[in-house]
A and B are shown apart, each in its own frame.
Chain A
């Protein structure tokens, strides 16, 4: 089976008719063929694909040998078995495919696959035992200055860095399973580490027990979706200096902290689940110095702090569910123009904590399970405004040791008296239109499904 592979555009990976053969016959080149020819001549690497097989009884017995013999556009099929060849350099545009789960084993000594060519596809491998290094960024699969790569259906076990993408663009990392054995932050690395990249899609992966689940630094216009990131030491997902990115439908569970978004702009966070990030310094979502983000339809369940916000401006928090968190949202100074609306706050120990003296954030139209006002005109909006910051909340901000008095009768009494006549709690932190009934957010059904 021979066909032409076109690596320049992922949308047309296979072109079945051969434009080279048709070139001399037809004077009138159709516009589509012309386009393809143009791309091929531009790349200057049109090839007929060969299939090279690697196994203990095949023509090639080692993966690197087969790759050395391969041309751009070839397929290298690696059959079941254990291959311990150290670091394998993939410097040609090939499809490297594992059949019956071939194992690439680094024996704790080296990284395993390094991709430096454009248009490489890696699929179906078990990659294991990279080993900790304090000097080199060893990785199970490393992509360096490459474009249009696909990494899918692999299992990476006990790798230092799992998948490491650097200076690359237009790649897809899909349906991989990365399980590490991280014990402490110092001697562990990230499962999917992306650095200086553009237009990367990371989807349907399972990452577990690394330092950070998915780490992005200087990564723009990328999409992270339907991943599950759990039991990581530091963050489930970590953005640094990355702009215009989206993450949808992910689950972050039992991480040191769910997601950290730092120094970034225009990040959309929709339909994610943040749960059981519980511990003394844990939170579901950390926002630090970010602008213009959109946090919508997420579920936050049983996190010590649902969302911790520091110095973040123009953020919309819409239609999220906050269930049984220690603090649902904790906002410290320098946060301006945030809109918190149509969220459900259900049995959180503290609903909102606000340290700033200046506040122009709005909190209208949420459902608060602690609200006990009435609705005489029956329009679904409570007639009495709700103050989400309680007196005890204010006291705990001033003297953290006072937390010892949580749930004591005295605290209930002072909270009640403050509610009747507010003196200490901030005047303008108020929901003027509290909902009477729980708002029907889609995130809840989602979170129940993934639970």
Chain B
């Protein structure tokens, strides 16, 4: 498995797209730091971009990589290698190279800026952690979709749909439910619902770190009381892990049964 992981990883690290992806984050973070002296503002702007772009790029990249390396995969399948190690290795190669680009692209400008000297280090680390988790989650979902669908158009379409659902439609339905049931005590529901969407969960984790909780009034207090504690932090990281583990487990199952 590690051999295949290593192979995919270095294959991708040499790829032009990884460089473009990394350079984009590098230039974007650098210009934000250049234009604004307020680190918490930079963190918020970066958060807006990371929460939208990381899932989208990870989904697209994952699907694209699977379809493009199909012939190589078929070659590997002819060798005496375990099926799971082929697909899981490839998946981790993609996820690692994506999160590597993110870490380098965002991390290096912050290091140059001197993040360790400021009090924003924890916010920054939360942001990076969330970005890495999102890369892993969405490339796993992408691999799963690609494995399930031979038809490339259908695969891409489904991938975009999943992204659209989690990034936009989910919040729309959520807001609608909040508005309809606003006469009832719905903080518990609000918290539960936002914990089951990795994008929402990531956003709230960062916003609570940035002390926006004061704006949220009572709901914010409920969130802060749960997510602000170490218990809540452990719970939310567990949920993020579950979001990685579930698609990976599905990839394994599908890969074992799939007829090539």
Q: Which residues of A contact B (CB under 8 A)?
A: 278-280, 282, 304, 326-327, 347, 349, 395, 398-411, 413
Contact = CB atoms under 8 A, between A and B. Distances in A.
Interface string B163-195: 000011101101100110010001100100010
Interface stretch (B91-99, B134-142, B218-226, B228-236): B218-226
Interface stretch (B14-22, B43-51, B103-111, B112-120): B43-51
B47 A407 contact: yes
Contacts of A349: 212, 215
20 contacts: A279-B214, A280-B221, A304-B215, A326-B214, A349-B212, A398-B182, A401-B219, A402-B179, A403-B215, A403-B217, A403-B219, A404-B194, A404-B200, A404-B223, A405-B200, A406-B215, A407-B48, A407-B207, A408-B51, A410-B168
Contacts of A408: 51, 171, 199-200, 203
A304 B27 CA distance: 33
Given A399-B182, A410-B168, A405 B175 contact: yes
Nearest to B169: A410
A326 B47 CA distance: 18
Contacts of A280: 213-214, 217-218, 220-221
B146 to A, nearest CB: 24
A384 B122 CA distance: 41
Contacts of A279: 214
How many B residues touch the partner, as a band? 35 or more
A280 B213 CA distance: 8
B214 A304 contact: yes
A398 B179 contact: yes
Contact of B218 (A326, A327, A400, A411): A400
B220 A403 contact: yes
A401 B223 contact: no
Greatest chain A CB density within 10 A among B52, B169, B175, B218 is at B175
Closest 3 CB pairs of A and B: A410-B171, A326-B215, A399-B182
A405 B218 contact: no
Given A404-B223, A413-B168, 15 more contacts: A280-B221, A304-B215, A395-B179, A401-B182, A401-B186, A401-B219, A402-B178, A404-B194, A404-B200, A405-B174, A405-B200, A406-B215, A406-B216, A408-B199, A408-B200
Contacts of B41: 347
B204 interface: yes
B182 A409 contact: no
A326 B182 CA distance: 23
A398 B175 CA distance: 11
B216 to A, nearest CB: 4
Contacts of A407: 44, 47-48, 203, 207
B211 interface: yes
Nearest to B219: A401
A336 to B, nearest CB: 26
Contacts of B48: 407
A404 B214 CA distance: 12
B215 A400 contact: no
B211 A278 contact: yes
Nearest to B41: A347
Interface in B196-210: 199-200, 203-204, 207
Nearest to A347: B41
B172 A400 contact: no
Greatest chain B CB density within 10 A among A327, A347, A404, A405 is at A404
A349 B214 CA distance: 12
A444 B41 CA distance: 20
A401 B52 contact: no
A304 to B, nearest CB: 5
Contact of A410 (B44, B175, B182): B175
Contacts of B207: 406-407
Nearest to B36: A347
A413 B52 CA distance: 13
Contacts of A402: 175, 178-179
A397 B206 CA distance: 23
Contacts of A406: 207, 212, 215-216
Contact of A409 (B167, B204, B214, B223): B167
Contacts of A409: 51-52, 167-168, 171
Given A409-B167, A410-B168, A411-B171, A403 B51 contact: no
A279 B220 CA distance: 11
Contacts of B213: 280
Contacts of A405: 171, 174-175, 200
Contacts of A304: 214-215
A409 B186 CA distance: 22
A282 B213 CA distance: 12
Greatest chain A CB density within 10 A among B187, B211, B212, B216 is at B216
Contacts of B179: 395, 398-399, 402
Contacts of A398: 179, 182
A278 to B, nearest CB: 6
A76 to B, nearest CB: 50
Contact of B214 (A278, A399, A411, A413): A278
Nearest to A410: B171
Contacts of A404: 190, 194, 200, 204, 216, 219, 223
Contacts of A410: 167-169, 171-172, 175
Nearest to B218: A400
Greatest chain B CB density within 10 A among A280, A347, A401 is at A401
Contacts of A326: 212, 214-215
A406 B208 CA distance: 11
Nearest to B194: A404
B221 A401 contact: no
Contacts of A278: 211, 214
Contacts of B204: 404
Greatest chain B CB density within 10 A among A279, A326, A402, A408 is at A408
Nearest to B173: A410
Given A407-B207, A408-B200, A401 B215 contact: no
B178 A401 contact: yes
Contacts of B199: 408
A406 B187 CA distance: 15
